[in-house]
Structure 1
């Protein structure tokens, strides 16, 4: 089949499904799997099969990188215990349990080969689960745990798969497997850290957003290839590089580069993630054809269903004690918060009150200690305010859908007995978990009545943050040594305007924090049928800063219309038009951020 035609079909299908799926109340990956499966059995469609290493080396790295750059490092650190448990320990337990099952069911299959298949089907894919979780407004911590698990469990499964495949070629001691697993992880982390920091430094020198974003497209492969050559986990190196980049971007990249990178990588992630789910369905017919014997086909289906059931049971059995452990940590955190608060007050004592202390820490040491304690207190506050209860644990236990890694890893299985059946078993596990768990997860979430984020509280928090940040910015304007590069003082009128604008933004956000949620945002209170200067009498019920934002948006709309008219006449050069358009876009984007649409 012509790959260009396949790509065209895939893109159009992905866009159509992504547009319709939210209206149907289902996750797009589930619909794509069904469509792909149905299309694979069309007689006119030839068998579709990709090289085994294509997805693993070309598709998986950018998917993981795109996900990693958007995961806040602080959230990952605060949830390291559940993420590590689910992404490492649960993967190993699942691989061993299902490996023993296959070893018992298939007599000609060696134990290492059986564990290799267990490693293939052990890591869940968080794409479907997180898309459902975000759409239904689950608590942020639960979403973070699912995302973190999806990032790290791929590396655990693939390292375990590599060790099991190596064991099929000869006898390997247990300590060698464990040592190889740890070494692969450590080397991958080092490679990811080096590549992440190095590419951030290089990109910080590129101020052109196009060039900068282009370099970012190479980062996943710059991390994956050397780690893979060193027999380490290439996908873990990609994840670490992505986390470093996401954490450092606010400091080293300007706003335009960040906006460009965000949009481009979201597009790449959207196409690749959904494309893989469509591909899963399209390849099903090819896998069925490879298992030519009807009895073998039925056997593979039965074994796939058995493995699916075992994976679900193992995950539930693992999550129950994990939630109990996290609830215990939450109770301990309440007392830890009091101890940390007491320690902070102790450090903040005036020197006169601390005169009886035998040794007073120096000011720099005290500052570092205080920052550490304040950060720990924030971690504790987050843990106590957003705990994972039993209802969240139920969602976590049922979010075991398989996906892209199972697809990629299954195709990489070596030439071992029952290979065609084993690959088909892996695909059956992935498709069944996607369709069964993915379709019932929204029902479970609604039945449990899990409370997600509070939009009103988010607006209040945003207003508080802006007030604090604005105060810092205004303080910089009061610096008596503030001068221009040539040493001349700034124009007082310009400084007053900057000060007024800064205060206006902060006051506007605080005003919106108290706006009734039933009031429509945007152009509420403005009669849009009149000229921009004509404001309806109902505008008196809206705060002055809301009116300012609304009128500015109207002015920008008129300016945009005039710009389009000027472009139609061809009276100005394209570079001037582009710059003017960009200025309007930036201003409109700033004003749009003052809206509460996102909460």
Structure 2
């Protein structure tokens, strides 16, 4: 009964704080941490200690999966270089630099324990940054980079943490760390891809929406657990499984099932994210009480934590500068490639085979060559139109907040780790300092640097063009001389006219009457599903080519799902 009351009060508190945060313009995670910090010193409140396994194996997988499902795969691919550098290279650099700082400031700690703590504080938490950024209209490419970094950097830091913990008892050469990391990544990608494909295959054959959604809840754990057992990165396997599901679901899983799943996952993510930020703040007094002044005073420990937080911020700023320069160089190079792609297209139109495309599978298939060329040209236009400048770099540099994963990962340090209570407090100080300092000032930074938002007028024009593409595909279906119902009988002209009008292919008023022995509603449902399915296929085709921005395709897919779900519901 007591646990039930605590759970009910916890949910009510989370909802209340989230609602208040929207009113005062503060990101909900920041408000929840501040509330937790204040409540931790209330008289009579018991010590809050969270089992780290609960965070890392129960809470983290579904959170990463829910974020990965909504990550546009094509945007992730296009900005993989930036995401890789931030989530892998920057994590390694932060681990090394912070590790040497800790070994210098805490005599007797040892390099292994110092690097373990460095790995703990290296991953960022993109929840607060993206929630602030979306509210203030950050461009979608910048948001994608931050979200992509948040998806992958947990895996990088946990692999480095595992290597550092192993070095506490045995000597681990540097080459072994690199090998272990590469093996962990490869196995995780294979496991995640297999689980993603298998889950889509199974779920596409379920006709019960409730059962379909229930099965989606275990997908992240089906990816996480085997990967961990094989010595790989479970969280990376979860991310890969989420990316596969998000990319393939519109093609194989019914729209009404996806809509139901999306609503349920949004609720779960909201509660889990909010709970861990609240619990993160509640742990402060517990960590202070556990720190032994005889070995390292609390004040000194807090000071080290503040220095480590400043170092992490400085390293990120220094790292982002050349990254932005590289992204700007990519845009300049893409500009110079425009004429190259035009020349290649002209060669294909004349029936000539461009040299750079004369190798690989399908080299003799002109249609496949055109698709490959079109996809690369679209990627090239993306780098030009979504040009990345110093303003976006400032936002990325100031979005390095740490979160609950840092606190939970610190608690996985072995009990015999030197200065363990102090290390836990240092990790907490780094997380809270960066979260509150950067999180509360990020809106001001975004407004000061004036990051240009997405071009809404261009988006509207592109969306009109996309609708024309879909309407053209619908017209091909409706104008097909062989158009017929599943039983082979023709559709009534008045039904065809009505569907044609609703799809905005041609404004033809429905004329004529329907015979008494014909059910117009069933014909209308069948023909509407047939047309919408054709439009869905066209939408997936243009998405695979990267013909439009992911934000437009996501919007169009959501509207398509809602229309499809209406008729699929009637089918049930």
Measured against the shorter chain, the TM-score band is 0.7 to 0.9
Aligned to 2:229: 229
Displacement after TM superposition at 1:498 (Å): 0.9
Distance change >3 Å, CA 51–CA 387, structure 1 → 2: same
Provide Cα deviations, 1:218-240, integer angstroms capped at 9, x if missing partner: 00100000001111100000000
CA separation in 2, counterparts of 1:480 and 1:589?
Answer: 29
Q: Cα distance, 1:474 vs. partner?
A: 1.2
Determine helix, strand or coil for the equivalent of 1:168.
coil
RMSD over aligned CA atoms reads 2.4
The residue that corresponds to 2:424 in the other structure is: 423
1:93-131: CA deviations, max 9, x gaps? Answer: 001000000011111112111100000000110000000
How far apart are residue 363 of structure 1 and its match?
Answer: 9.6
Seen in structure 2, the aligned counterparts of structure 1 residues 216 and 589 have a Cα distance that, compared at 3 Å, is: closer
Asked whether 1:218 is paired with 2:188, we answer no
Equivalent runs, 1:174-193 vs 2, <5 Å: 174-193=174-193
Question: Could you tell me how far apart the structure 2 residues matched to 1:100 and 1:304 are?
Answer: 14
Q: Which moved more, 1:24-33 or 1:233-242?
A: 24-33
More displaced 10-residue stretch of structure 1: 152-161 or 494-503: 494-503
Distance 1:588 1:237 in 2: 28
- SS state at 1:13 partner: helix
- Whole-Å Cα distance in 1 between the matches of residues 445 and 363 of structure 2? 54
What is residue 290 of structure 1 aligned with on the other side? 290
Using the size of structure 2 for normalisation, the TM-score is: 0.86
Contact 1:123 1:157 in 2 (8 A): yes
Measure the CA separation in 2 of the matches of 1:221 and 1:314: 34
How far apart in 1 are the matches of 2:317 and 2:13? 35
Aligned to 1:158: 158
Q: Which residue of 2 aligns with 1:532?
A: none
Matched, 1:49 2:46: no
CA contact (8 A) 1:402 1:430 kept: yes
Partner of 1:471: 472
* Distance in 2 separating the partners of 1:368 and 1:493: 40
Q: What does residue 567 of structure 1 align with?
A: none
Contact 2:259-2:561 at 8 Å conserved across structures: no
**Mapping of 1:30-429 within 5 angstroms?**
30-293=30-293, 296-349=297-350, 365-415=365-415, 416-429=417-430
1-structure distance, mates of 2:225, 2:293:
39
Alpha-carbon distance change, 42 to 506 in structure 1, aligned in 2, over 3 angstroms: farther
CA contact (8 A) 1:470 1:506 kept: no
User: CA offsets, 1:16-59, max 9 Å, x none?
Assistant: 12212122121111110000011111112111112221111000
> What's the CA shift for 1:462?
1.6
Unaligned runs of 5+ in 1: 508-585, 594-599
TM-score, normalisation: structure 1: 0.82
Task: Output the CA distance in 2 between the equivalents of 1:452 and 1:417.
Answer: 48
Deviation at 1:454, TM superposition (A): 2.9
Deviation digits for residues 373-431 of structure 1, max 9, x if unmatched?
A: 11111111111111210011000001010012202211111120100100110011000
Report how far residue 455 of structure 1 moved: 2.8
Query: Is 1:437 the counterpart of 2:438 in the alignment?
Result: yes
Q: How much has 1:587 moved relative to structure 2?
A: 12
Q: 1:290 to 1:372 in 2, by over 3 A?
A: same
Contact 1:88 1:156 in 2 (8 A): yes
Deviation at 1:460, TM superposition (A): 2.3
Cross-structure match for 1:573: none
Q: Deviations over 1:222-274 (max 9, x none)?
A: 00000011111000000000000000010011110110111111111111111
Structure 1 residues 22, 504: closer, same or farther in 2, change over 3 A?
A: farther
**SS of the counterpart of 2:298?**
helix
For the structure 1 residues 360 and 171, does the alpha-carbon distance in structure 2 shift closer, same or farther, using more than 3 Å as the test?
closer
Runs of 4+ residues over 4 Å off in structure 1: 359-364, 504-507, 586-591
Offset of residue 360 of structure 1 = 10
Aligned residue pairs total 510
8 A Cα contact 1:467 1:506, kept in partner: no
2: distance between equivalents of 1:590 and 1:183?
A: 44
Q: Separation in 2 of the partners of 1:4 and 1:104? A: 47
Contact 2:500/2:507 (CA < 8 Å) preserved in 1?
no
**1:464 and 1:236 mapped to 2: Cα distance?**
37
Give the Cα–Cα distance (whole angstroms) in 2 for the partners of residues 38 and 360 of structure 1: 66
Paired with 1:589 and 1:166, the residues of 2 have a C-alpha distance of 51
Q: Paired residue for 1:492?
A: 493
Conservation of the 8 A alpha-carbon contact between 1:223 and 1:234: yes
The residue number in structure 1 matching 2:453 is 452
